């Protein structure tokens, strides 16, 4: 009855080829490339697996900049200020050690990029220019207009291909292979297939680095590219690693809302960094009404105060207020952290003060000269002109929240980025801990560089200290059978339509504002979808088959979605990106001291609380320091 598919699929006994490396890096965005460069520099044989072509990873879409306390624009800036800003933005749920490593090492990582050919915008005295961003006390983001991610990935790519690594493009990993020894789980390699012909490949490796990015594609409105389906998190979870902080999904405040074709596409925070302001349908600047207590001391409460601050940091506003006075020490509320701004927009729309298509207005046209807009935000100009029929030098943009980034991910050791599986490391968005409950803009690109390097370094060290070991043939057989199963079914759900279904359910029940009832409904829907995904059917052969790929992506997205929903249900408070309308306050007690982890058990996914590590006194002193 499945004659048409059995001729086109191939049986599990079909051969696979084998590749061997000391270190295998899965994912070729900023973190993966940086890890591969470091492991290569350590003299290791490195394989770099890209789900797409090299240089196309989601890093390419990062716009605003890379945060590093270089102190070129504001000499008062240093790692301590950056560390404090990061911990505060994360509502102190960050792993302090990761935030410390990040703040101290980011400047060197940025300078290193320059050494490899990156051309950041310059200050008048010829150094790297830095711009304002949400939650950063000082102008801190090194940038190239609004295409910083492109500059970064291209620089890493152009440097990396000369470092001796082997790059495997359009290759999808479906399983990690783990040795379950009495002394503990240990990584052995990975199994996957080449998109081009659908044939299988076994990667044997002493150490593996996961750098696969985020999970935005699980939401209806998202800013993420095709690749962001939670692969690394799911692979690690299925292999026995733990996921942490999954309840914290960042909704970026400014995605496009119109037309429907581009709903969710990112508008850089750099627009507000360059002086842009959010207005409701009455033209009123909305953010003055949404300043939380945590940020009250440092945030301007009136327009002229906010604009004076912008001017004092070098933003050349045209007209507007705040021209008379001297420098204001209080920042504009338009640059509050993303979770706060996203909920403010949500609030305005809910109160009926939104824009025609269900967002609010982002105004740069009345704030900066056309010339400045074209120079500082050229990609935004083209994006709106070509996809939205809006000229942002003349009209406001319509914006609304869009699923953007997951703070949660694979639980790793803060010093080495190693998971609980020996030899399995993770870096970048797929790892947890650096950003706590909410990530500051610009801290992602620096995260990729800092922790990509650390993961690559420690993976290389691990590989040097461990011999190769055999891989269980049964495990490979299982992986092949699992991958081919969708071809062998006579009928079953269409994987594309299942994905659409998932996006709607996550958006509705695990979205920007949550409550117990919705989360429970969401979990029930996920159970239904899991069952449907287990019966999914794909047509055709294995040759560049998008629906086959979608079927595998679905498994990954469902694992990560479930961890998000379960974590969100367990955390009965509102903190950072996780907002519960039934528990609107941030808990100063219990939930400020725990992280939530998800792990697999014989009966399914279990979530549990683990103690959040307190910083040692000398680091606490840095947090308490007054400037």
Partner 1 sequence: MAEKKVTLNVYRGDSEGGKLQSYEVETYPGMVVLDAIHDIQAKQEPTLAVRWNCKAGRCGSCSAEINGRPSLMCMTRMTKFSEGEPITVTPMRSFPIIKDLVTDVSFNFEMAKKIPPFKPTPRQADGTHRMQQEDIDRIQEFRKCIECFLCQNVCHVIRDHKKTNFAGPRFMIYLAGLDMHPLDTLDRHELVKDEFKIGLCNITKCCTEVCPEHIHITDNGIIPLKERVADDYYDPVRWLLRKVGGGKKKEKAELPAAADPLNKTAAATPQAKQKDGG
Judged by CB under 8 A, the chain residues 387 through 426 that form the site for partner 1 are 387-388
CA neighbor of 559 nearest in space, from 30, 208, 169, 175: 175
The Cα 339–Cα 180 span in angstroms is 41
> Whose Cβ is closer to partner 1: residue 163's or residue 623's?
163
Site for partner 1 in 73-112 (CB under 8 A): 111
Contact pattern from residue 28 through residue 57 relative to partner 1, giving x for each residue in contact according to CB under 8 A and a dash for the rest: -----------------x-x--x-xxxxxx
Residue 478 CB, shortest distance to partner 1, in Å, is: 20
Using CB under 8 A, pick the residue from 7, 75, 182, 260 that binds partner 1.
260
The Cα 346–Cα 403 span in angstroms is 13
The answer to whether 272 is a known catalytic residue is yes
Residue whose token pair is 């609030």: 347
Tell how far CA 537 is from the center of its chain.
30
Stretch that binds partner 1, among 75-83, 177-185, 262-270, 445-453 (CB under 8 A): 262-270
Sign (positive/negative) of CA torsion 274, 280, 284, 288?
A: negative
- Which listed residue (82, 136, 147, 252) is catalytic? 252
Interface with partner 1: number of residues (CB under 8 A)? 84
43: DSSP letter: T
> Which long-range contacts link 156-162 to residues 24+ away (Cβ below 8 Å)?
156/30, 156/33, 156/34, 156/37, 156/113, 156/116, 157/33, 157/54, 157/55, 158/116, 158/117, 159/37, 159/116, 159/117, 160/33, 160/36, 160/37, 160/40, 160/48, 161/54
Bridge partner list, 431: 410
Residue whose token pair is 């449907």: 532
512 CB-near residues (< 8 Å, 6+ apart) = 251, 342, 343, 346, 401, 579
The answer to whether 252 is a known catalytic residue is yes
CA neighbor of 230 nearest in space, from 284, 311, 290, 173: 173
Site for partner 1 in 525-584 (CB under 8 A): 538-541, 543-547
Stretch that binds partner 1, among 86-94, 155-163, 286-294, 575-583 (CB under 8 A): 155-163
Using CB under 8 A, pick the residue from 184, 259, 283, 329 that binds partner 1.
259
> Whose Cβ is closer to partner 1: residue 471's or residue 513's?
471
Using CB under 8 A as the binding rule, whether residue 20 contacts partner 1 is answered as: yes
Site for partner 1 in 492-521 (CB under 8 A): 494-497, 500
Using CB under 8 A, pick the residue from 121, 478, 488, 516 that binds partner 1.
121
Site for partner 1 in 160-219 (CB under 8 A): 161-162, 164, 166-171, 194, 196-197, 199, 201, 204
Using CB under 8 A, pick the residue from 37, 60, 306, 559 that binds partner 1.
60
Stretch that binds partner 1, among 33-41, 139-147, 407-415, 418-426 (CB under 8 A): 139-147
- Which listed residue (272, 279, 571, 580) is catalytic? 272
223: DSSP letter: -
Contact pattern from residue 427 through residue 446 relative to partner 1, giving x for each residue in contact according to CB under 8 A and a dash for the rest: --------------------
Residue 151 CB, shortest distance to partner 1, in Å, is: 6
> Whose Cβ is closer to partner 1: residue 40's or residue 233's?
40
**Where are any strands of DSSP class E within 159-259?**
166-168, 171-181, 184-194, 200-210, 243-244, 249-256
> Whose Cβ is closer to partner 1: residue 225's or residue 595's?
225
SS percent in the chain: helix, strand, coil, step 5: 40, 20, 40
Residue 341 CB, shortest distance to partner 1, in Å, is: 21
CA neighbor of 49 nearest in space, from 212, 234, 228: 212
Catalytic residues: 252, 272
């Amino acid at each position: 009855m499945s004659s048409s598919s059995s001729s086109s699929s191939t049986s599990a006994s079909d051969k696979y080829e084998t590749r061997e490396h000391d270190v295998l890096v899965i994912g070729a965005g900023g973190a993966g490339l940086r890890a591969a460069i470091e492991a290569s520099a350590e003299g290791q044989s490195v394989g770099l697996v890209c789900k797409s072509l090299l240089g196309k990873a989601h890093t390419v879409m990062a716009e605003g900049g890379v945060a590093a306390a270089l102190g070129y624009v504001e000499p008062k800036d240093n790692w301590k200020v950056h560390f404090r800003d990061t911990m505060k933005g994360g509502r102190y749920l960050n792993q302090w050690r990761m935030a410390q490593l990040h703040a101290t090492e980011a400047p060197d990582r940025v300078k290193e990029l320059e050494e490899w050919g990156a051309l950041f915008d310059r200050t008048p005295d010829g150094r790297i220019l830095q711009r304002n961003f949400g939650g950063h006390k000082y102008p801190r983001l090194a940038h190239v207009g609004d295409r910083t991610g492109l500059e970064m990935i291209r620089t890493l790519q152009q440097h990396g291909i000369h470092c001796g690594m082997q790059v495997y493009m359009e290759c999808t990993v479906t399983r990690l292979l783990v040795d379950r020894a009495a002394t503990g789980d240990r990584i052995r390699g990975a199994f996957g297939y080449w998109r081009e012909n659908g044939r299988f490949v076994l990667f044997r490796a002493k150490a593996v680095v996961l750098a696969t990015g985020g999970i935005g594609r699980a939401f209806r409105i998202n800013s993420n590219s095709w690749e962001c389906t939670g692969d690394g998190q799911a692979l690690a979870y299925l292999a026995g690693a733990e996921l942490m902080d999954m309840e914290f999904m960042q909704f970026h405040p400014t995605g496009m809302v119109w037309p429907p074709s581009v709903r969710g596409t990112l508008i850089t925070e750099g627009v507000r960094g360059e002086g842009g302001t959010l207005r409701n349908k009455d033209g009123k600047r909305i953010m003055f009404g949404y300043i939380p207590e945590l940020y009250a001391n440092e945030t301007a409460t009136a327009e002229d105060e906010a604009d004076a601050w912008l001017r004092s940091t070098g933003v050349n506003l045209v007209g507007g207020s705040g021209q008379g006075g001297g420098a204001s020490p209080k920042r504009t509320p338009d640059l509050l952290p993303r979770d706060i701004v996203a909920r403010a927009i949500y609030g305005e729309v809910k109160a009926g003060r939104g824009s025609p298509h269900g967002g609010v207005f982002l105004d740069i046209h009345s704030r900066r000269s056309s010339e400045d807009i074209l120079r500082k935000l050229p990609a935004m100009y083209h994006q709106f002109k070509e996809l939205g029929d809006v000229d942002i030098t003349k009209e406001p943009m319509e914006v609304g929240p869009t699923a953007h980034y997951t703070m949660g991910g694979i639980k790793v050791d803060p010093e080495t980025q190693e998971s609980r599986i020996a030899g399995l490391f993770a870096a970048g968005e797929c790892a947890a801990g650096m950003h706590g409950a909410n990530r500051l803009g610009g801290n992602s690109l620096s995260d990729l560089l800092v922790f990509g390097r650390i993961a690559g370094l420690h993976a290389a060290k691990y590989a040097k200290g461990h011999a190769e070991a055999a891989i269980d043939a049964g495990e490979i057989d299982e992986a092949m059978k699992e991958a081919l199963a969708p071809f062998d079914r006579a009928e079953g759900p269409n994987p594309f339509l299942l994905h659409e279904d998932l996006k709607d359910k996550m958006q509705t029940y695990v979205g920007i504002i949550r409550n117990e009832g919705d989360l429970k409904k969401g979990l029930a829907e996920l159970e239904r979808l899991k069952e449907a995904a287990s019966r999914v059917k794909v047509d055709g052969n294995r040759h560049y088959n998008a629906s086959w790929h979608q079927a595998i992506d679905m498994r990954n997205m469902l694992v990560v979605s479930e961890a998000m929903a379960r974590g969100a249900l367990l955390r009965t408070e509102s903190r950072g990106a996780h907002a519960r309308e039934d528990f609107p306050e941030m808990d100063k007690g219990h939930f400020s001291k725990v992280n939530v982890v998800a792990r697999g058990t014989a009966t399914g996914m279990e979530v549990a609380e683990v103690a959040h590590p307190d910083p040692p006194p000398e680091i606490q002193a840095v947090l308490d320091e007054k400037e």
